[in-house]
Amino acid sequence: MESNIISHIRQLDMKIQSNDEHQRGVAALAERYTAQFGMGDLGRLMGFLHDKGKEQTDWQKYIQGVTGFNADYANVKTGPHHAYVGAVIAQKQYPQIAPLIAQPIAGHHRGLYDYSDYDEETRQGIPHDVSIDEPIPIHPTFPKMKPYDLHHLVRMLFSCLVDADSLDTESFMNPEQVRLRGSQTSLQQLLVLLQKHLESIKANAPDTVVNRIRNYVQEQCVKESQGEKGFYSLTVPTGGGKTLASVLWALHHAVKNQLQHIIIAIPYTSIIVQTASTLKQIFGEDNVLEHHSNVNPEDIKDKELRERLQLATENWDYPIIVTTNVQLFESLFSNKRSDCRKLHNIVKSVIILDEVQTLPLGFYKPIVHTLDSLQRIFGTSVLFTTASQPVLTGRIDGTNPAVGFDALQSVHEIIPAEANLHDKLRRVELKFNRNACTYDEIAAELAKHQRVLCIVNTRKDAKELYERLPKEGICLHLSRMMCPAHVSATIERIKQVLKDAGNRPIRVIATQLIEAGVDIDFPVVYRQEAGLDSILQAAGRCNREGKSGICTTYVFSLGKEHPLPPGYISQSNNARLNMGEQHDWFAPEAMTNYFHQLHCRIDNFDKEQMQNLLYKPECEFEEAANRFRLIDDQTKSVIINWNGSMDLYGQFLSQGPTYSIMKKLAQYSVNVRERDFKKLQGMGAIEEPFENIYAITKPAFYKADTGLSMDNQWIEETYII
Distance CA 713, CA 322 (A): 44
Instruction: Inform me whether the pLDDT recorded for 530 exceeds 80.
Output: yes
Strands (E) located in 492-624: 506-510, 524-528, 551-557
Alpha-carbon distance values, 27 to 31, 134, 164, 165, 510 (Å): 6, 16, 8, 9, 54
Res. 294: pLDDT tops 80 = no
Is the domain of 407 the same as that of 301?
yes
Phi and psi angles of residue 373, each rounded to the nearest 5 degrees, phi first: -65, -45
- Using the predicted structure, report yes or no on whether residue 158 has a pLDDT greater than 80: yes
Q: What is the pLDDT of residue 3?
A: 65
Rounded Cα–Cα distance for residues 385 and 391 (Å):
13
Residues spanned by the domain of 84: 2-178
Domain match, 53 and 192 both: no
Residue 582 has pLDDT above 80, yes or no: no
pLDDT for position 566: 87
Is residue 475 within 8 Å of 507, Cβ to Cβ?
yes
CB burial of residue 559 (10 Å; 0-12, 13-18, 19+):
middle
Confidence band of 333 (pLDDT split at 50, 70, 90)? very high
Give CA–CA dist 518/540, Å, rounded. Answer: 10
- pLDDT class of 1 with cuts at 50, 70, 90: very low
Task: Assign 3-class secondary structure to 321-359.
Answer: EEEEHHHHHHHHCCCCHHHHCCHHHHCCCEEEEECHHHC
**pLDDT over 90 percentage in the chain:** 80
**Judgement on whether residues 453 and 549 belong to the same structural domain of the protein:** yes
**Dihedral (C-alpha) 312, 317, 319, 320: value to the nearest 10 degrees?**
50
Average pLDDT, the chain: 92
Give the least confident one: 11-25, 108-122, 322-336, 572-586: 572-586
Asked if the model's pLDDT at residue 239 lies above 90, the reply is: no
Do 263 and 396 lie in a common domain? yes
pLDDT at 80 > cutoff 80: yes
Query: pLDDT tens digit string along 371-404?
Result: 999 999 999 999 999 888 899 999 999 999 899 9
Last residue in a domain, options 519, 551, 584: 584
> From residue 718, how far is each of 492, 699, 715 by CA, in Å?
31, 9, 5
**In this structure, are 413 and 443 located in the same domain?**
no
Instruction: Tell me whether residue 135 is in a domain.
Output: yes
Give Rg (Cα) of the chain. Answer: 28
Query: Does 147 fall in a domain?
Result: yes
The predicted model gives 63-67 an average pLDDT of 96
CA distance 236 to 219: 13
Residues 487 and 446 in one domain: yes
Burial classification of residue 374, based on how many CB atoms lie within 10 Å of its CB (0-12 exposed, 13-18 middle, 19 or more buried) = buried
572 and 666 share one domain = no
Q: What is the pLDDT of residue 387?
A: 85
Of 161, 178, 195, the one marking the end of a domain is 178
Closest by Cα among 201, 188, 380 to 283: 188
How many separate domains does the chain show? Answer: 4
- Kindly give the interhelix angle for 439-447 and 459-468, rounded to the nearest 10 degrees: 60
> Which is nearest to 291 in space by CA: 639, 302, 275, 282?
275
The rounded distance, in Å, linking the Cα atoms of 643 and 489 is 11
Q: Do 200 and 149 share a structural domain?
A: no
One domain for residues 280 and 297: yes
